[in-house]
Amino acid sequence: MRRFCSLVLILIFSAVFAGCGDKGGKSDKDLFVIGFSQVGSESDWRLANTRSMEQTFTESRGYELRMENAKQRQDNQLAAVRNFILEGVDLIIIAPTVEDGWETVLTEIKNAGIPVIILDRSVSVSNADLFLTNFGSDFLKQGNEAVKWMEDQHFDTAQRNLRILHLQGSYGATAQLLRTKALEVGVAQHKDWEFAAQLDGDFTEAKGYEVVKDYLRQNRDFDVLYSENDNMTFGAMCAFDEAGITYGENGRVKIITFDATKKALQYCLDGKIDLCVECNPMHGPGVEELIRKYRAGEEIPKHVYVDESVYTRKDLTKEIIEEREY
Ligand code: GYE
């Protein structure tokens, strides 16, 4: 009986350890293991970002990418990151849903001796040594570009103020905070600009549609839509269509959108969107370059911004749009 029990125990142990083997930090093929906590799949931008990471960090290039989709919830991210620590991955990449609430888990990662890269949005922590680098967009610059474009339009405000309908991304995310900040500063600086409303569209098409549709039941008095991402813009356009509100070059409402995905650029070329502020999601190659430098013991900058520009109809051609990767 004792021998039987020992045999059962041995079998259980080997089964458990065999299972752990798959999830262990070191892979059999000597790959560099990256745990990646992604925000979610809320937008076309995000899908392109995920694709770029997956296409870059492949086995044939020496990587194993373990990606966890947080479905836009920080608690899911904290759980995923703690798992990466247990698994002993070589490096952790976090695309944070929101800026706050990272200090503790980043300290845990540091204590485990695992390097961290913050991707896309930022974290607000008192100690910048808690991560290697922050790779992503300059969201304040993006917002300032949009405000500058509005200034350049010289809207006729002799009779009444310019009224801005502001569709905001997920509260607390850097992309929301800084695009909002730029506009709020712009409104404060222009006595003849005002908010018609600020609505939370959570960066999704469905929510963008819903909140704008709801808003339009009582209010139609606005001149500009400032929408913090393309998918919310598409939702808003749909609500405008249903309500008979015209927009774009020949319409009553001017539209500013962030991301500049292929679909938004096409709308811009068609005269339906007035300004596309680019937000480049193709982060994979740039992040890989940083990781290569880090592994070679080279210095890497604390904040790396990707190249971006803005597009109006006159900047676009069919060819530019066709070449667009996202
Ligand atoms: O603009 C939006 C996405 O953080 C830059 O998040 C990113 C933003 C992007 O959902 O489409």
> Which domain does 126 fall in, by range?
26-136+281-295
Query: Does 50 share its domain with 177?
Result: no
CATH number of the domain that residue 108 is part of: 3.40.50.2300
Name the strands in the sheet holding 310-311, side by side, starting at the edge strand that comes first in the sequence: 193-200, 162-168, 224-227, 254-259, 275-278, 310-311
The answer on 91 and 58 residing in a single domain is yes
- In this prediction, residue 28 carries a pLDDT of 62
User: How far apart are the CA of 39 and the centre of ligand 1, in A?
Assistant: 9
Residue 123 lies in a domain: yes
Q: Do residue 36 and residue 150 come from a single domain? A: no
Tell me, yes or no, whether 156 lies in a domain.
yes
21 in a structural domain? no
- Measured in whole angstroms, the distance separating CA 80 from the mean position of its chain's CA atoms is 18
- Host H or E run for residue 50: helix 44-56
Residues 194 and 183: their CA atoms lie apart, in Å, by 10
Assess whether 317 and 237 both reside in one domain. Answer: yes
Q: Are residues 200 and 268 in the same domain?
A: yes
Are 70 and 157 within one domain?
no
The answer to whether position 3 is within a domain reads: no
For ligand 1, which residues put their CB under 6 angstroms from it?
42-43, 45-46, 120-121, 137, 173, 175, 203, 229, 258-259, 279
Q: Are residues 146 and 217 in the same domain?
A: yes
- 300 in a domain, yes or no? no
Say whether both 115 and 148 belong to one domain: no
310 SS3 class: strand
CB 53 within 8 A of CB 30: no
Residues 165 and 97 in one domain: no
Closest ligand 1 atom to 174 CA: 4
Per the CB < 8 A criterion, the answer to whether 50 and 41 are in contact is yes
Residues 151 and 275 in one domain: yes
Q: Name residues of the chain where pLDDT drops below 50.
A: 1, 4-23
The candidate with the shortest Cα–Cα distance to 34, out of 112, 92, 120, 119, is 92
Residues 94 and 150 reside in one and the same domain: no
> Looking at the 3D structure of the chain, how many domains does it have?
2
| Residue 305, in any domain of the structure | no
Residue 254 sits at φ, ψ, to 5 deg, of: -90, 140
Going by alpha carbons, the residue nearest to atom 5 of ligand 1 is 175
User: Is 239 in the same domain as 158?
Assistant: yes
CA of 312 to the centre of ligand 1 (A): 20
In this structure, the chain runs to a length of: 326
Task: Compute the distance from residue 284 Cα to the ligand 1 centre, in Å.
Answer: 16
Query: Distance, CA 17 to ligand 1 centroid (Å)?
Result: 40
